[in-house]
């Protein structure tokens, strides 16, 4: 018995270890991971190392160029650009992460229920999914934010709740596939409750699919946050986010085009690294090669 368990553990672990080895040798994956670590350090430790008040207005130093004390200069209200980029990064990263938690939870739940039970429940859930998918997500976000107000929590909920549909379809397809497996049948025959079968035997199988999707979801969510905040519907000033900093920069094209450069470059780097890392993880966990 003990021997069997060891063999089983080995078999279960081997593909994961192989993927991990592949990932560690992939220069793109390593570079992307390192970039993401740098961005997180910049956003979360930066303001600790550089304790400058991000909201203090210095009207004598509006749109000031770079100095030793303020390496990236000041914005239209004389606020320190560097520290606002750091704090804006916290917001953007947190919105990305929490929005994905929302969308992965809802998408997995809807997809798993529809795939596991089928019948009228699946019909209803998937029609609702199609309906929401037909609405351009952006308009749905604008509509919802109008009514539930701008701010961090509504923003996270809106981005999460408008981006779970693709995942729900994917999860449903996967659950349908695994539902018919013999070990699932065995678990049922042993009298396992539905929820146990679903959470212990079916859902762990689709975990790699979920992880890859979540990484793409984070970058989509960061882009959505920046667009909504840019339009004035997301994070509200004086709080900084990369999106609303770009919105402020819009009026100073002629005098300070650099203000439009920094937040955009940070978004680009973060999203690019997330996407590339997601692609690398998918390639590394692909069982077909």
Partner 1 sequence: MLSPGYVARRVLHALVVLAVVAVVTFFIVRLAPGGPAALADPALRDAERAVIEARLGLNDPLPVQFLKFVGNAVRGDLGQSFLFGTPTTQVIASRLGNTLILAGAALTLTLLVAVPLGTLSGLRPHSWLDRLVSFISVVVLAVPVFWLGLILIIALAVLRPVLPAGGMYTTGMEGNLVDLLRHLLLPAVVLASASIAELLRYTRSSVRSAAKLDHVRTARAKGLPQRTVHVRHVLKNALIPVVTVIGLQLPRLVGGAAVTETIFAWPGMGRLSVEAALGRDYPLILGVTLVVAAAVVLFNLLIDLVYPLIDPRIRTDG
Residue ranges that bind partner 1, judged by CB under 8 A: 127-128, 130-140, 142-149, 219, 223, 226-227, 230-233, 243, 246, 249-250, 253-254, 257, 260-261, 263-264, 267-268, 271-272, 275-276
Which backbone phi and psi does 45 adopt, to 5 degrees? -95, -25
Half-sphere exposure of 69 (CA within 13 A, CB side): 6
Rank residues 97 and 137 by Cβ distance to partner 1 and give the closer one.
137
Query: Residue-wise over 248-258: b if at least 16 C-beta within 10 A, else e?
Result: bbeebeeebee
Instruction: Give the nearest distance from C-beta 163 to partner 1 in angstroms.
Output: 12
CA triplet 204, 205, 206: central angle to 5 degrees?
95
Place of tokens 């997809």: 111
Instruction: Give the nearest distance from C-beta 205 to partner 1 in angstroms.
Output: 25
Rank residues 14 and 28 by Cβ distance to partner 1 and give the closer one.
28
Rank residues 30 and 142 by Cβ distance to partner 1 and give the closer one.
142
Distance CA 247, CA 138 (A): 18
Instruction: Give the nearest distance from C-beta 249 to partner 1 in angstroms.
Output: 8
Rank residues 178 and 213 by Cβ distance to partner 1 and give the closer one.
213
Nearest to 78, CA basis, from 89, 92, 65, 96: 65
Rank residues 63 and 142 by Cβ distance to partner 1 and give the closer one.
142
Instruction: Give the nearest distance from C-beta 27 to partner 1 in angstroms.
Output: 14
Instruction: Give the nearest distance from C-beta 274 to partner 1 in angstroms.
Output: 8
The pair of structure tokens assigned to 157 is 């909920």
């Amino acid at each position: 018995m003990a021997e069997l368990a060891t063999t089983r553990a080995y078999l279960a672990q081997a593909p994961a270890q192989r993927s991990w080895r592949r990932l560690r040798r992939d220069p793109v994956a390593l570079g992307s991971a390192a970039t993401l670590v740098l961005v997180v350090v910049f956003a979360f430790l930066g303001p600790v190392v550089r304790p400058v008040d991000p909201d203090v207005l210095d009207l004598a130093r509006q749109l000031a160029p770079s100095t030793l004390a303020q390496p990236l200069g000041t914005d239209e209200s004389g606020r320190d650009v560097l520290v606002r980029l750091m704090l804006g990064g916290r917001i953007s990263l947190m919105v990305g992460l929490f929005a994905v938690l929302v969308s992965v939870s809802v998408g997995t739940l809807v997809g798993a229920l529809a795939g596991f039970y089928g019948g009228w429940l699946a019909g209803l859930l998937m029609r609702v999914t199609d309906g929401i998918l037909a609405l351009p997500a952006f308009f749905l976000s604008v509509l919802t934010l109008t009514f539930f107000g701008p701010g961090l929590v509504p923003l996270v909920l809106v981005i999460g709740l408008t981006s779970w549909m693709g995942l729900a379809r994917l999860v449903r397809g996967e659950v349908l596939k695994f539902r018919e497996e013999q070990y699932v049948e065995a678990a049922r025959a042993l009298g396992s409750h539905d929820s146990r079968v679903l959470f212990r035997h079916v859902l762990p199988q689709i975990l790699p699919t979920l992880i890859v999707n979540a990484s793409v979801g984070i970058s989509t969510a960061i882009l959505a946050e920046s667009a909504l905040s840019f339009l004035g519907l997301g994070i509200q000033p004086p709080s900084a986010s990369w999106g609303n900093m770009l919105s402020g920069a819009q009026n100073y094209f002629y005098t300070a085009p650099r203000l439009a450069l920094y937040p955009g470059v940070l978004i680009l780097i973060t999203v690019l690294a997330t996407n590339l890392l997601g692609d690398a993880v998918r390639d590394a966990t692909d069982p077909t090669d």
